[in-house]
Amino acid sequence: MAAEKPIRVFLIYCKQSAIVAQIASKITGAVSGNDRIVFTQDEADRVLVLLTANVLTPPTLQMLEAVIKQDKKAEHGRLAFLYDEASWAFNCAEKKASSDAVQSTLENHEILTYRPKSEGGAATATAAEAASSDAAPPPGEAEPEAESQTVQAQMAADPSFTLPPEARRRLRR
């Protein structure tokens, strides 16, 4: 049996903030060694947006707008979102000042909470699950509400961890 092709993920985040860069590093580090997900700087199957302060300002705003435009044209949604509770507010001035397309995209996607690895070793699987999810609707279409915004997994402790089929189905609704 041939190995599955890894999911190529492009990460959009505010690189001007050292704290946000650390979060992005933790996300990419959490899936390193995982042959199912590969972070890339070019063509991507999924685009993971880390919602933090200043992400909806240039140049990351233009990256997000370009992805929204490409996905709408292709009638295919590649976007997945994580937000950091410490640096993102859903009704912030940044969001209100963004284009209608960006606001609509944010409102029509489930946005998962980023939570770093806990003291006990468990990590929130939102980074890997968001990056590998194929359930994103085309731009402008509402995504069904998932039962849970986060899924606890031992991602960092066990790179081969996979969610049970029932959990994956719930995430893809």
Q: What is the pLDDT of residues 47-105, one digit of tens each?
A: 999 999 999 999 999 999 999 999 999 999 999 999 988 889 988 999 999 999 999 99
Least confident of 9-18, 35-44, 112-121, 158-167: 158-167
Residue 164: pLDDT above 50? no
pLDDT at 128 over 60: no
Residue 125 makes CB contacts below 8 A (sequence gap 6+) with 150, 151, 152, 153, 155, 161, 163
Report d(CA 25, CA 41) in Å as an integer: 14
Across the chain, mean pLDDT equals 76
Lookup: tokens for 140: 């402008």
What the block records as the tokens of 99 is: 């284009």
3-state secondary structure 14-40: CCCCHHHHHHHHHHHHHCCCCCCEEEC
Give the number of other Cβ atoms within 10 Å of residue 4's Cβ.
8
pLDDT digit string, tens, across residues 31-40 = 888 889 999 9
